[in-house]
Copies of this chain bind each other. A is one copy, B any other.
Amino acid sequence: NALAKGWPAMAVQVGISQYELKLLDDPTRVPGLPPGEVGTRSAFEKLVKKPSDISSRSPLQDLHGIITPSDLHFERHHNGIPTVDPARYELTIHGLVHRPTVFSLADLKRFPSVSRIAFLECSGNFRTGKETMSPQEIAGLTSQSEWTGVKLSTLFREVGVKPSATWFLAEGGDAARMTRSIPVQKGFDDALIAYAQNGEALRPEQGYPVRLFLPGWEGNMSVKWLRRLELGDAPWHTREETSKYTEPVRAPGGGPGKIRQFSFEMDARSLITYPAYPAQVERGWIEIRGLAWSGRGKVVRVEVSTDAGRSWQVAELQQPVLDKAHVRFRHLWRWDGAETEICSRVTDETGYTQPTLKQLIDARGPDTGGYHLNPITPWVLKADGRVFHKPQNWR
């Protein structure tokens, strides 16, 4: 189904029609195109994710504000995107509950609903290694939407979760039957059974018709194409919470290394998205722009350094600053044209400040792997205005 899959990319590449070319000379002298059923992106804008076999990265350097357009939301699948018929869709909740229940999509939409703007980030969201890497390539596995759905706590009450239930298993209806164990408390706190994203039904890539959404927690746990929740009294130790999504770390006190498991919360992070590779800037006033977020609550401060971390200035945060949400920060700076390094660091409401990669590796040891890396990410600004990533190699 290349057509259905490929159309937006095609449309981007269709370019300008003959009729439009005529308009370009003086659009005020020729009637424009008529209103339509569905809007188009301008043919002049090439906004695309960067796909691999298993993921696709959001073009962070091209985005403004805090909402990620749904069709540019990052993707990470463990065996592709299933096509789920909403009329046949069912969510089953069972295990340590009084009333094992099957909900249709229509059933779920009848419950009291909530909406919230929150980020979703893959816990393997850090790449480095060469200078010519954009924000998309370094950290494009984070995106933000307004999610709408029913609170999991509402469904927990509906099925009567037993007091003995401490964990629940969330299972996807994809070809990986993605499965994660989640503390029941998160279900009572703020988990959402989401069926809409940025005003419309979830996109297939984000779990259509229904996904779990765990605000602030590593993306893999927000199981897409959700089909089953089983309440239990212990975690299942599925492959995605043992073989994967775990981090070798130093033992406290320096004994033999440990493997950290159930690292759910996404640590506070920030990233300058402008100026950033591949942008080129001019000397003079530059508004440094970026995103900051924390899985543990609200961002309280972002600082920007324009002298390679020697001194820091407090950036402005675009209001409203939401809980567990991407925040847009901005910092006005006058560049004198000399080569320098610029970077940002965030502090969240728990008092945690984003570390350098060196601090992370010192703390966890060199074998820690690629999960939960949230380092300060400097950009090198050359005298000619070109901007490059500063590779952060440690392995």
Contact = CB atoms under 8 A, between A and B. Distances in A.
Contact of A9 (B37, B196, B202): B37
Nearest to A206: B39
A330 B112 contact: yes
A53 B28 CA distance: 18
A154 to B, nearest CB: 11
Given A33-B80, A77-B32, A113 B289 contact: yes
Contact of A1 (B20, B114, B147): B20
Interface stretch (A68-76, A120-128, A360-368): A68-76
B81 A4 contact: no
Q: Residue among A39, A111, A113 with the most chain B CB within 10 A? A: A39
Given A44-B85, A82-B23, A200 B10 contact: no
A250 B201 CA distance: 45
A148 B65 contact: yes
Contacts of A289: 113
A83 to B, nearest CB: 4
Identical copies in the complex: 2
A205 interface: yes
B20 A83 contact: yes
Q: Which of A10, A37, A205 has the most chain B CB atoms closer than 10 A to its own CB?
A: A37
A115 B51 contact: no
Contacts of A88: 24
A19 B1 contact: yes
Contacts of A389: none
A259 to B, nearest CB: 29
Contacts of A201: 41-42, 45, 47
A371 B143 CA distance: 39
Contacts of A37: 8-9, 48-51, 56
A163 interface: no
A268 B330 CA distance: 32
A13 to B, nearest CB: 10
B20 A11 contact: no
A214 to B, nearest CB: 18
A103 interface: no
Contact of A35 (B39, B55, B82): B55
7 contacts: A4-B20, A32-B175, A40-B71, A42-B201, A44-B209, A64-B195, A68-B199
Closest 7 CB pairs of A and B: A32-B80, A1-B17, A27-B82, A8-B38, A39-B71, A64-B196, A65-B115
